[in-house]
Amino acid sequence: MIQRIQSIWLLISAISSGFMMNGAIINFISKNGPKYVIGFSGICRIVDTGKEVIGGFVPLAALIIMILLISVISIFLFKSRRVQKACAIIIIAFSICLIIMLAYSSIILMKNNNAELVPGIKMFLPLIILLSGIFAFRGISRDENLIKSYDRLR
């Protein structure tokens, strides 16, 4: 059913990835002066004249969009638990890739530009997506086990 708990977890995953599309995900302050940002559009340097894109990060944007789309689609696949379970596994895999990609680019940015990480709330959104994907998978599995136990009683 659409009102099951896994739908709520999938909605949290979709909302979190939607928030990642707007603004900076991870912020850095360089000891030399400029501020660096990893966001949906890529790695940017913020200077007095505005935002200067250092490198585009297409795989990051693609992962965020795919997580959002799969989360929204799998909410409406409540009648097919097997497909919904596969979608949850894909969301988990994509979120792990997203976390690895952000960590790697953060380490490279900090190393090359002598920058320090500025903690922020959006920095934890990939972890929230991962956890909500895991909880959605568990909810789908519990629903499947519940249906199997009802079939045994018949």
Question: Is 9 in contact with 136 (CB distance < 8 Å)?
Answer: yes
Q: Looking at the domain assignment, is residue 94 inside a domain?
A: yes
Domain with 103, as residue range(s), is 5-23+58-153
Q: Looking at the domain assignment, is residue 95 inside a domain?
A: yes
Question: How high is the mean pLDDT of the chain?
Answer: 86
Q: Does residue 118 register a pLDDT over 90?
A: no
Q: Looking at the domain assignment, is residue 37 inside a domain?
A: no
Question: Is 20 in contact with 122 (CB distance < 8 Å)?
Answer: yes
Q: Report pLDDT for 115.
A: 86
Q: Which two tokens stand for residue 5?
A: 């708990």
Q: Looking at the domain assignment, is residue 148 inside a domain?
A: yes
Report the predicted TM-score, pTM, of the whole model to 2 decimal places.
Answer: 0.87
- For residues 113 and 37, give the distance between their C-alpha atoms in angstroms, rounded to a whole number: 12
Q: Looking at the domain assignment, is residue 50 inside a domain?
A: no
Count structural domains, the chain. 1
- Mean pLDDT computed over 75-96: 91
